[in-house]
Structures are given as structure tokens and as C-alpha cells.
Structure 1
Amino acid sequence: MSDIRIVRMSETSVTPGELADLFNATFGEYEGMVPATAETMAWYIRRPGLGEGHSFLALAGQELAASTFVTAARVVFGGETVACGIIDSVMTRPRWRRRGIATALLERAVDEMRREGLGASLLYTLEGSGGHRIYSRLGYRERAVAHYYHADAVPAAPPEPGLRPARPDEEEAVRARLNAWLGGCDGYVPLDDALWRWRRRERPRIMPSTLFVLDAPDGIAGTGALCATRVSIGNQPVDLAIFTDVAGADAAAQRRVLYGLLERVPPGYGVGLLAGSHDPVLPALAAQLGMARYEEVAMTLALTAAGEAALSRPPRGWYTLGESLIGV
């Protein structure tokens, strides 16, 4: 470690292209990961709350050896929102692994989160991986399991004519409904103006996302988003339509949204769906559709007494954060 310097990202001139190269070198073999480009990374580091001030790089001379991002956000735990530091993209170039760099980066990040008064920290990782062992040593504990479902071809499902693209003037109503329907789920980040704008209107053109709504006599009964992108599965590029934020007034509405999204998948694309343990609806639907399931664990760390109190209560559902799990 004597040849490594850990610095804030804001203290360097690192480019999105350099970060994308590090990301791909680190996560290239992860199933279902969306490969990064300079364009997608430039979007990602503009994520509200991320900020270059509490993201850190490990430099070996002028070489970017490793990095980690920390996003400050309100996250639901135990039925209340907690000021949280979301750890994303702990990246180490393969030739710099097993030197304690990731541990040093995480220790620095945790110290910074404590200094900022954040109540808890959240991250996603593969169970049994090197990262999982590091996070466990630092005190992170498993909170839930993130489910990432995949099908090479669009599963057969009953037709659902009631789903349609949302109009621009409906987006505010959709945002309010999502906060109402998902606001009690552990892991959910309530959608404020900045996060909604970043997700919906500032997206990179190579990773478009279309918002859909399910009509009801009294308004919107359900919603879901479809992101058409390219992912890595079995070390091969695969075109995938990934469904996120599938939500509704009840289980029947969620089912109808999911079936309607399946009809909207572009020709030649497979299907991906994000869900989580403690979710009583989507995992059962994905299983009925015969979709394969990949898993990562969601791990949390209490940083204050208030954070510890929230995390002492059992999860109420689980919301898998797409931008943290796979970068969409």
C-alpha cells in the first residue's frame, strides 16, 4: 500500500472514460452487468447525492488502480427513511487486487459517512465474493437478497392491452404513485425532483428507458419502466429489455403491468426484471414465467443510533435499486 495514494475524486482530473475502463476491467465477468462507456459513466457520476467530494480513488503513480462511489440519499429501512451512504462500484483493476486497496477505500468511505452524520450505509455484492468478505469484516450485515431475473426470449403471457406509454404531463402523477406504492419497502429511495429528472430526462441516449402506465377508471392503477440496453451474460453481449419500478395499487395491477411490458419488448431482445426478497408478488410472477434468477445480497451498516434502530426492525418488502445493482 505504500505506493498507493487514496484521494477524493474531486481532487483529480480523472475522466468518465477512465472510470468506464476501470469499471469494465473490474466487472466484466459479472452476469447481467451493463458495460460502461464514457457517456454512461458521465451520466452515472451526475447521480444526485453522489458527488465527487465523497467518492474516492486509489492512484498508483498516475494510474487509476481502484475507486469507490458513495451516494448520499434517503433510504427506507424498517418503515422510515434514513440518511444513508450507498456504496457503489467498488472497483479494483485486476493486477492491483489482494493488496488491501479495496479495504482501505471502504474504510475511508465509512469514516467520511460517519463524519457527514449519515445514519446507515447500503451496498450490493455477490455472496461469498471477496467483496462480501471485506464488507463483513467492516461490520456490514446481510439485509435482503436482490433478485435479477432473466429470459433469453420473451416468456409467453396473457395479452394485456391496458398498458400504454405515459404522457409527459402524467410523469408527476406517476412519481407520486411510485412513492406511495413503494414508500414502505426497505431499500427504496423516495423519488424527489432531482432523482426523477436524472433517471427520466438526463439518461444517456444509448440506454433509453420508456415509462408505461396502466389505466384505471379513477387514474393510474400501475406503472413500470422498460430500459433497452446491452448486458454481459456468459461473457457474451446480450440485448435485454430490463423492467424496473414495476408497481401498482395491488398484486393484480402489478401482474398486468408485467404482462403488458412483455408485449413491449423490442424484437430480438431478451428480458430482465429486478425484484427482491420480501417482495410477495414479482418473484412469484417471474417463477411462473420460467425466468432464470441471479442473486446478490444487500448489506447494511448502522452508523448512528438512529440507523441502528431502523435496521433493528425487519424489512418490509425489498426494493432493488437498479442504478446500484446493474447501472440502469
Structure 2
Amino acid sequence: MKYLLRLKWALILLLFSFVIVSCSKDDDTPDNQDQQITDNIGKDDKDGDNGHDHGSSDFDYITNYEVKGDQLKKIKDYDVTGESLTFQKNEKQHKDIWKLVMDVIPDANRNYLSDFMLFHGEKSGTAGYVVQTKEDLTKWQFGIAMAYAFPNGVINSDGELAYTIIHEFGHIVTLNNTQVTAGTDANSSDTYHTGEGSSKANSYINKLYQNYWADIWDEYQEASNSEDEEKLAAFYEKYKERFVTQYASTNPGEDIAETFTYFVIKGDKPSGNSIADQKVRMLYEYEELIELRNYIRNNTKTKRSRMILPKAGAWKKANTFGDPKKVHNLTK
């Protein structure tokens, strides 16, 4: 089940411009060209595709790395041509993206990453995704699109890549095994069912759902299950003071990820009365989330960091919807 930061949805908006950076080789980058996909990565994936080949014609996978703490070990170079081949050869760019991922994800949380997938992204219109590689939600594949990583030839020059990484990390924070009991049936769940399983009663996403979604759930279901895009737009317009971005109204899973991203990038704790502000303040109730926020924000202050954060509300494609058919309790 993939959590895609979709950039071409119901409103069909085009994302970032991109300038190809010339190829270079970083001698510190792992160079295990013949390494095969390790047995442990994705062997428990319940969809049976290990997250590596599903929809590969759309995702245009480039290179996959095994994650070992702060180190990457090459698993596979995919058979690619054209611009994807240029990306594949530029291992310095791979390493630069990974450094930015490390600026967002602390070492302890990197234990959740089984592998790091670089893909093209232009065909799928996707800037990033995460997908579980173990059914018990202890391991995840983290995917980043190279086509959107270097706008104007400079990594993350507009903050969009940082936003994507934080958003996708937010999915792992809120959907891992400490938050969700994997493999449960949606019909027998007393808490919000994410698609992977039942959220735990005290989980971040269940609290979000119970406090801010339960009262409008039936109305949301009617809008999201219809084939009429205008109904989803009307749902958002009616309740937009509840959401930090339009994209957040896609479903509770995207809502918590967007709220987490806003929680990280917004300088001050919001003091307003809107439900959107209440959601952000909810995350301040958790010391462990404050620590994550501080880790990410402190990394923006170092000279080595490439972490340029977009201002809250300035993300170019926040005003889009995700696919309403891929909500958590369906196939998301």
C-alpha cells in the first residue's frame, strides 16, 4: 500500500521544472553494482510485489539501496535509458538526496527503512512515496523522484524536496507498528482502520480521526466514493478550516502527514481557533514528536545542510487532492 505525494490528481496540475545536473562520481558512495536484492527486503510484503516492481512502467525505478543506519548499500540498478540512465549514473546526486533524508530522519527512526528507492517520477507525477516492506509495519521502502529533486540544477532549491521527505516520513511516524496493529479486518476495528490495520487507541492517527473526522466521516465517504470530483471539492470547501492544506482533506492518512509537515515547518505554535490549528497543536502534546521537530529544524541551521524549508502555506501543490479511491481503509 503506497502513500504517494501525488502531484497530478483530480485538478491535474503540473509540478516542478527541472534542469539536469551533469554526471559526477562520489567515491564515498557504495559501488556494489552486482549486489542482488537481499532476501529480507520486502519478503513479507502482503501484496507480493516487494514494492520494487509494482507499476514499474509508471514509476520508472532507477536504483535501489539497502539502508543500514546512515549508510547505503546498492541493491540494484534497474535497466533504464535516456534521462533515467543519466540519473542512475549520477551517484553524487543519490548521495545528496540521502543526506537530505538523514537531515529529516534521525538515526533511530532510520531503523524503519529497509531500502531507499530512487525513481524518475515524471511519468507517475509522484515526488515521493513510502510502502511497507514487512507486513508487521516494522520496515518501509522510502522512494524519492529524481526528476523533482534538483529544480534549477540545485538540490531542494525551492524547499519542495524537503517538504516531500518530511511528508513521507510523517507517514512512517504515524503508521508504523507502534501506531497500528497490522493485518486486522476493517469491519471488526473499533478504531480508525488505515488499510494496513487498526490504529491503536492512543495512536496519533486515531486521535486525529476521533476528534476531527468522525463527525464528518459519512459525508466524506459519500464524497470520496463518488465519481464526481466536484463533490470532493465541495466537501473541502465546506470544511476547509479543518485542514492545513487541500491535500490534507484527501483522507485521515494524508491529513496526519500534512499536519505533521506543517507542525515541523511552521515557526510558531499556532494559536488560532480553527480545527486545522487544533490539529497542529495536538502534535505538541507528544514529547517525542517535539524532539523530531527540533531535530529537523536544527538541521536547517547547519552550514552543511541542504534543508531549505518552504514557508508554511507556500508549498506549490498543497492545493490539490489525492486520489479519493486510495484512502487508507480501501487500497491506500
Higher helix share: 2
Alignment TM-score, normalising by the size of structure 1: 0.30
- Larger RCO: 1 or 2 (CA < 8 Å, sep 6+): 1
Alignment TM-score, normalising by the size of structure 2: 0.29
